[in-house]
């Protein structure tokens, strides 16, 4: 079975682009949609390029404090800096010892996270920055799973399959802003993808529990959660149509999910949405033409509605099929999937578009 086969059923469009040397796939189950949803089986870097990235990876590492999206503005960020050297064979320190990216995106942790082993996407970090989960599709094994690496005594452990990732598809992990819960997507027996959750315990994570009613049985993907506990996710509507929904906490569970406004759900092919902890900002991928996905941002309006989405700059959306946006816990970096790797860039590429009439979360 191909990568995220159940999610593939959400979109029967087979996507290809000039930057990919691997053809799009479609076997009658809509697997070509995987190319659109995850950015395609894009060209992976050659070992020589990976080595080049390793050689230029030395530099400065950010050590940041907690943050607020509502207070973030597109001016230079003050940072405490310390010298680190990125070594993919023995990564150490915050952000694996990498030099922080500027306004031009760079591949994240080449040779350690972003590798030749598969298609990497969907990254999440614990609030203290010492635990990092990401998803990887391995074409040869026909598996789509979540891996974890942890910083122990200053050194990052080799990425290994996460304890909860027992099936052929357990992906798109998200750690809540307070670090107490994790949400992810699992392929179930009905061949749909559903949202599951776990609670952090003294010994790790609890057993996963599926989110049942009032959630529908339609396929879902990419859960992210605000500090309020509001859950944002993508749901299949019908055929190739997908939309973003919000589910609010209610008496220890969730109320019936409701769609976000039409200013956000403006197209049939909505992809993956990341919500800011204070709910002032939504970064997402979408395909207005139904084929090529790019990153957009929408800011909360003063009346609590969402302002029309703005497409991010060309350095981020340099090629087609840029997907799976996420922010670092300190709010300084934007992560996304492009060409089969995870990339990162200064978060000012998002907040430079914040209009004066935007509200606060």
Rounded CA separation 177/155 (Å): 23
| Three-state DSSP class for residue 6 | helix
User: Which tens digits make up the pLDDT trace of 57-77?
Assistant: 434 333 333 344 334 333 333
State the CB neighbour count (10 A cutoff) for residue 16: 18
User: How many residues are listed for the chain in this entry?
Assistant: 361
CB 151 within 8 Å of CB 130: yes
Q: Which residue has the tokens 């819960």?
A: 181
Q: What is the pLDDT of residue 358?
A: 78
Quick: pLDDT tens for 15-44. 233 333 222 322 332 333 343 444 444 446
- Flag whether pLDDT at 8 surpasses 70: no
Query: What average pLDDT does the structure give for the chain?
Result: 81
Q: Which residue's entry shows tokens 């529990």?
A: 209
Read off φ and ψ for residue 5, nearest 5 degrees. -60, -40
At 153, the pLDDT band (50, 70, 90 cuts) reads very high
C-beta separation of 87 from 61 below 8 A:
no
Q: How many other β-carbons are positioned within 10 Å of the β-carbon of residue 233?
A: 25
CA distances from 98 to 21, 56, 278, 293, 295 (A): 29, 10, 28, 28, 24
Across 43-60, b (16+ Cβ under 10 Å) vs e yields ebbeeeebeebbeebeee
Domain segments of the chain as ranges: 5-351
Report the SS3 class of residue 32. Answer: coil
Over residues 302-338, the pLDDT tens digits come to 777 999 999 999 899 999 999 999 999 999 999 999 9
94-112: per-residue pLDDT in tens? 999 999 999 999 999 999 9
Tell me what pLDDT residue 258 has.
Answer: 96
Q: Which tokens go with 249?
A: 């906490």
CA distance 5 to 8: 5
Give percent of the chain above pLDDT 70. 76
Q: In terms of Cα–Cα distance, which of 183, 190, 151, 144 is closest to 167?
A: 144
Supply the DSSP symbol for 58.
Answer: -
Higher-confidence position of 41 and 219: 219
Does residue 5 carry a pLDDT above 80? no
Domain 5-351 sits in CATH at: 2.120.10.30
Residues paired with 346 in a beta bridge:
333
Residue 198 pLDDT > 50, yes or no? yes
Using CB atoms within 10 A of its CB, is residue 204 exposed (0-12), middle (13-18) or buried (19+)?
Answer: exposed
Q: List all residues 6 or more positions away from 141 whose beta carbon is below 8 Å from its beta carbon.
A: none
Distance CA(337)–CA(343), nearest Å, equals 6
């Amino acid at each position: 079975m191909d990568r995220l086969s159940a999610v593939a059923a959400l979109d029967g469009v087979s996507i290809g682009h000039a930057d990919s040397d691997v053809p799009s796939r479609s076997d009658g189950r809509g697997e070509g949609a995987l190319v659109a949803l995850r950015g395609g089986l894009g060209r992976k870097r050659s070992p020589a390029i990976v080595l080049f990235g390793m050689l230029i990876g030395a530099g400065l590492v950010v050590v940041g404090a907690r943050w607020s999206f509502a207070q973030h503005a597109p001016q230079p960020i003050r940072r405490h800096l310390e010298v680190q050297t990125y070594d993919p064979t023995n990564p150490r320190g915050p952000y694996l010892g990498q030099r922080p990216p500027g306004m031009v995106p760079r591949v994240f942790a080449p040779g350690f996270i972003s590798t030749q082993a598969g298609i990497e996407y969907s990254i999440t970090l614990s609030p203290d920055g010492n635990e990092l989960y990401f998803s990887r599709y391995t074409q040869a094994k026909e598996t789509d799973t979540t891996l974890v690496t942890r910083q122990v005594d200053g050194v990052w452990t080799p990425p290994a399959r996460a304890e909860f990732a027992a099936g052929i598809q357990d992906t798109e992990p998200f750690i809540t802003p307070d670090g107490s819960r994790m949400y992810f997507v699992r392929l179930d027996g009905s061949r749909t993808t559903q949202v599951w959750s776990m609670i952090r315990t003294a010994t790790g994570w609890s057993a996963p529990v599926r989110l049942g009613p009032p959630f529908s049985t339609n396929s879902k993907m990419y859960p992210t959660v605000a500090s309020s506990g509001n859950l944002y996710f993508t749901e299949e509507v019908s055929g190739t149509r997908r939309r973003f929904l919000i589910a609010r906490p209610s008496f220890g569970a969730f109320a019936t999910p409701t769609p976000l406004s039409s200013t956000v759900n403006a197209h049939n092919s909505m992809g993956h949405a990341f919500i800011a902890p204070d709910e002032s900002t939504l970064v997402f991928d979408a395909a207005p033409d139904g084929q090529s996905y790019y990153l957009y941002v929408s800011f909360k309006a003063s009346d609590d509605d969402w302002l029309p989405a703005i497409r991010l700059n060309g350095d981020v959306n340099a090629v087609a099929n840029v997907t799976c946006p996420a922010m670092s816990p300190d709010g300084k970096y934007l992560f996304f999937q492009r060409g089969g790797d995870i990339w990162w860039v200064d978060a000012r590429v998002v907040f430079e578009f914040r209009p004066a009439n935007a509200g606060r979360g």
